[in-house]
Every structure is written in C-alpha cells, then in structure tokens.
C-alpha cells in the first residue's frame, strides 16, 4: 500500500510539474472559470465541442496546489475525445471516488489514471482541490460561458 501511495504521489507530482493540455484555446466553443477559495486554486477550462457533441479539444489554465493542477491535467487527458454524456459519466465516477460516496448510477467507467487521486477522500479539504476542474468543465459544458466556486 505504501508503494502504491508513493506511485500515486509520483504521478501527481509529474502532472503538477508538467501539466498536460495547459493553456487556453484560441476559439473555444465553451469555457468556464472555477475557484476554490479555501485553498486558492483557480483555473479556466476551455474546450471545443464538434458538431457531433464530442469534445474535440480541451485545455486548462490557472494556478493552484499540486492536487488541483494534477487533477485538471488528468481530467483533460481523460475527457478529450469523449461525448458530453460520456464526460458526465466520468464526472459522476470521479466525484464518487473523491468523496467516497456511492455513485448515483451504476455501470460507471473505470477511472484508471484518476485512481491516483483517490487518496483525497481521506482529506475533506483536498476533495475540493481535486474536484474543482471537474465542476468547472461540467459548468462549461452546461453553459457556453460560466463560472463556478466550490464555496
């Protein structure tokens, strides 16, 4: 278990050091800004939905703690290429894992890469760091332009 924790930390540090899909898209179809005042995490998610409702491109920009940055980085890798309903299923699965709650629906996708963030459920204050990017992308998908706060 300790080995696994070390591995998880290693992955989180790596994503924090070199976040994937970092930056803003020039012509996003959807965009949202999210803040977690408790920790000071702040990020903007921009994405392009193609005509079939598939997330063609997805990026984030902002600053925050290692958990929020790593979570946003892995989120962009996970959701790129998915349809909105598929992205929603990942949101539910991730939210359930991070909060330790039982998911409201069954048959959710396996989280593989996102497992590295499962440790946050033991630290309630960190749950908001881990879920910020997910709330923000969900908000972006619901409204073309929006902002969310965890408080």
CA dihedral 53, 148, 22, 58 (to 10 degrees): 0
Residue from 32, 35, 41, 46 in contact with Zn ion (CB under 5 A): 41
CB 110 within 8 A of CB 78: no
Cβ proximity to Zn ion: between 25 and 67 the closer is: 67
Q: Which two tokens stand for residue 99?
A: 């909060």
Instruction: Tell me if residue 101 falls in helix, strand or coil.
Output: coil
**# residues near Zn ion by CB under 5 A:** 5
Residue from 98, 116, 129, 148 in contact with Zn ion (CB under 5 A): 129
Tell whether the torsion through CA atoms of 63, 118, 137 and 11 is positive or negative: positive
Which of the residues 61 through 100 are near Zn ion (CB under 5 A)?
65, 68
Cβ proximity to Zn ion: between 28 and 64 the closer is: 64
Give the interface with Zn ion as residue ranges (CB under 5 A): 39, 41, 65, 68, 129
């Amino acid at each position: 278990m300790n080995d696994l924790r070390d591995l998880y930390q290693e992955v989180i540090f790596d994503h924090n050091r070199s976040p994937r899909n970092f930056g803003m898209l020039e012509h996003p179809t959807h965009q949202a800004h999210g803040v977690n005042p408790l920790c000071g995490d702040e990020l903007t998610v921009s994405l392009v939905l193609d005509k079939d409702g598939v997330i063609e491109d997805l990026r984030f920009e902002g600053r925050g703690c290692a958990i929020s940055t790593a979570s946003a980085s892995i989120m962009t890798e996970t959701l790129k290429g998915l349809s909105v309903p598929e992205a929603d299923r990942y949101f539910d699965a991730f939210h359930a894992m991070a909060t330790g709650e039982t998911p409201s629906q069954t048959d959710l996708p396996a989280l593989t890469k996102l497992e590295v963030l499962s440790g946050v459920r033991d630290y309630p204050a960190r749950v908001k760091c881990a879920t910020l990017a997910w709330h923000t992308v969900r908000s972006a998908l619901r409204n073309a332009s929006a902002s969310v706060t965890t408080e």
